A and B are shown apart, each in its own frame.
Chain A
Amino acid sequence: MRKPRLIAGSLLLASTCLAPAAFAETLDIGVTGELASFDTSQVSGGVWESQILMDVYEGLVKKSPDGRLLPGMATSWEVSDDGLTYTFHLREDAAWSDGEPVTAEDFVFGWRHLLDPANASKYAYLLYPVAGAEAVNTGEKPPEALGVASLDDGRTLRVTLDAPTPYFLQQLTHYTAYPLPKHTLERYGDDWVKLDHIVTNGAFTPVEWVSQSHIDVRPNPEYYDADAVTLDGVTYHTIEDRNAGVSRFRAGELDVMREYSSSMYELLRDELPGATHMSTYLGSYYYVFNHRDGHPTADPRVREALNLATRRRVLSEQIMGGTFQPALSFVPDGIAHYDAQAMNLEGDMDARMSRARELLEAAGYGPDHPLHLRLRYNTTDEHKKIAVAMAAMWRPLGVEVEMINAEATVHYQTIQEGDFDIARAGWIADYNDAENFLTLLHTGVGNNYGAYANPDYDALLDRAAETLDLDARQQLLQRAEALALEDDALIPMLYYVSRNLVNPALEGWEDNIEDDHPSRWVHFAD
């Protein structure tokens, strides 16, 4: 928001000549949750957390307004032919906000800190492609065994991987791969993260934090590109009630409101057409089938029938008012190096329903023995509406749905334990790569709630993980997804979209598939 500011000295000048009016331009962003910590190893995974952290820290690579990779703390890098060794050359003028240089040591230190079991980081596994990372994180090896090394007096960082990882550079934009200020951690211990001591290496640095109210950041004068940062600061307002966030945006108190509620989309689109953004996003909304023995959904005929009877367009348009996109695949449309797959749902709805009826009959279900399903979802209005609609779509097949809802903590614990036939789940990608979704169907993976197990699928994914050639890898991943869709491994339902309210006077704020919007690119149009 614009607030008039007196430049130092302008008071003196005011009497003699007319000083040009100067405006301090602070960007006010409404975010839907509270940052867990400025210690990147302690973050809990909210969208709002990446927004704040990417403004105050910078990794080896960073993102452009439209989401492309750009050099960050590293100006250039080389990858060895076997794809296992990355050599990053750090920029000469990289500095922490206290003026100390950012060195390769800070990356080595930060990554070891993340993986040190003593720090119990939830997202440590994102660095598992680095050689020795998993062993360090499980305490089998000391942090020094991690495959990162600082060379040339800290100007070069060499990273060794366990296996070629085509999305490794993408992953480096995630906050788990940021450096940490070794010098202040050593000086202040756990208190390094307190605002009195914290130093950061991004375009901004935090100056105030009132829990549950706001975080203020100011431009970091030591940032190598400080001259290009035009904002005078950013305030992130914690606004958990999304409708309240919309009110505050409409009252002009916010320049950006992230993740406004989907139920307000139609109203906002009509009322604030220039400010209401909605864009494709890297997220999938799906129902998990329980593949474990003894559940009706272990029968492929049942799964196919339910998939056939699911009307995605009705869900997206009539139930959700256009705030989701209909999905025929698990991996969302628009992901990098990937052609979206699609389920084979031939024929019009009548043909699909009669085919579904035949399948259920063949599986032994009928009027005398109706299919009874226990559907679990975590308690929100949105999930409830969708669950009710799904039950209604399946009812013509004689399917009886028992709906069970629970708060998120209980829901996920219950479905991990396998106590369901069908369960609601959603996945927002950690990085822009199909593997991040497909691994959720790999045998034995923690988030494979339905225990889908197909050795051929696993083999394709394992081969893809070792394939360096991007095109060949893409083919393998696509074949894997096609196989899972053919097995009706799950019910792809909707793709998430990103929803933001953005002051039309802002420039440098672009919709992108990862919904990342570094504030350093943003400025007010004059």
Chain B
Amino acid sequence: MLSYAFKRLLQAIPTLLIVITLAFFLMRVAPGGPFDGERALPPDIEANLMAAYHLDEPLPQQYLRYLGDLLQGDFGPSFKYKDFSVTDLIQQGFPVSLEIGGLAILLALALGLPLGVIAALKRNSAVDYAVMGTALAGIAIPNFVVAPLLALVFGVILSWLPAGGWNGGALPNLVLPVLALSIQQIAYIARIMRASMIEVLGSHYIRTARAKGLSERLVVWRHAIRPALLPVVSYLGPAIAGIITGSVVIEQIFGIPGIGRYFVQGALNRDYTLVMGTVVFYGALIVLLNLIVDLLYSALDPQIRYDD
């Protein structure tokens, strides 16, 4: 297992290199540069800026320079947020995104899994329709509608919770963003779990288990849930990577200092180093989480072994 994990990590290096290369050159193909704005800069000043950030060098040279810095763990300075390096920004923002995203995933699992199981067991009943109808609504209503609505109802009208702000991660400030972030995940997880439960419940070994005279409870708990979790686990890998790297919508609406906005803002500002930093970080996270998912697979399904 360990050697498998090690091998996978080695394989990640060329994958990341391809991601970095693509992102680097795609970013430069996009029209406009980091210093284009409403006000044209006098040519001399623009030349000063380009020289200060080595943007006046030929592109291949810039690419090699970037790779060299990256090997030393240096993501470079941000073009826009000048008092911070890209490493500073990720270090400051990631724990926040991780906290909000982690809590949202836990909440989504705590609610989504049981709802999915119940809906599967009571298939085609009123309970099933209610759960799946709500889940469909949860998926269909986008974040940017849910989040301001929550802020308006609980922050402005009822005044139960802060309408926004981070406040160092105080509990009242966490509730609404976590809730807003988890609603869609609850819905997704409930739907995946339901579908997968239904499939498992129809399989031969469940029939065998029932034929052995096991109680329904034992059938479900011991034999059905574990294999039914597999699709949820494979969904969770990329989903967790997506959620703990922040959501630009949730962060902007609740004023949360996470890293989600850097993906979008970095790209819009042509803040090359920030975009590259977030892409590398996100890429590495996906590789890592996918590896964890694969290892979890073998824990959940004895047929999957990585011993070679």
On A, residues with C-beta under 8 Å from B are 34, 36-39, 42, 44-45, 117-122, 124-125, 137-139, 193-194, 209-214, 237-241, 243-244, 247-248, 250-253, 407-410, 412-414, 416, 425-426, 446-447
Contacts and interface: CB of A to CB of B under 8 A. Distances in A.
Contact of A118 (B48, B92, B253, B256): B48
B148 A244 contact: yes
Closest 9 CB pairs of A and B: A446-B40, A213-B257, A409-B32, A251-B163, A37-B82, A120-B48, A212-B257, A138-B44, A120-B49
A124 B44 CA distance: 11
Given A194-B83, A210-B166, A253-B164, A240 B252 contact: yes
B39 A45 contact: yes
A476 to B, nearest CB: 24
Interface residues of B, number: 50
Contact of B257 (A45, A210, A410, A447): A210
Given A117-B44, A409-B270, A410-B32, A251 B155 contact: yes
A180 to B, nearest CB: 14
A124 B36 contact: no
Contacts of B92: 210-211
B44 A413 contact: no
**Mostly helix, strand, loop or mixed at chain B's interface?**
loop
B70 interface: no
Interface string B66-92: 000000000000001111100011001
B83 A193 contact: yes
A409 B257 contact: no
A210 B45 CA distance: 30
B166 A213 contact: yes
Interface string B262-276: 000000111000000
B255 A120 contact: no
Contacts of A193: 83
Interface string B44-57: 11001101100000
Given A38-B83, A120-B52, A253-B164, A212 B93 contact: yes
13 contacts: A36-B81, A45-B37, A118-B52, A139-B44, A214-B166, A244-B151, A244-B253, A247-B155, A252-B159, A412-B36, A426-B38, A446-B39, A446-B40
Contacts of A194: 83
Nearest to B41: A122
Contacts of B41: 122, 446
B80 A409 contact: no
Nearest to A193: B83
B148 A447 contact: no
A252 B155 CA distance: 9
Interface string B245-262: 000000111111110010
B44 A248 contact: no
B304 interface: no
Output the residue of A42, A118, A194, A250 with the most chain B CB within 10 A. A250
Contact of B37 (A39, A120, A409): A409
A247 B269 contact: no
B238 interface: no
A450 to B, nearest CB: 13
A314 B51 CA distance: 47
Contacts of B88: 211
B261 A212 contact: yes
B44 to A, nearest CB: 4
Contacts of A210: 92, 166, 257
A194 to B, nearest CB: 7
Given A212-B261, A447-B40, A44 B80 contact: yes
Interface string B147-166: 01001100110010011111
B93 A211 contact: yes
B282 interface: no
A247 B37 contact: no
A124 B83 contact: no
Output the residue of B31, B84, B258 with the most chain A CB within 10 A. B31
Nearest to B151: A247
Output the residue of A248, A251, A252 with the most chain B CB within 10 A. A251
Contacts of A213: 165-166, 255-257
Nearest to B164: A248
Contacts of A253: 162-165
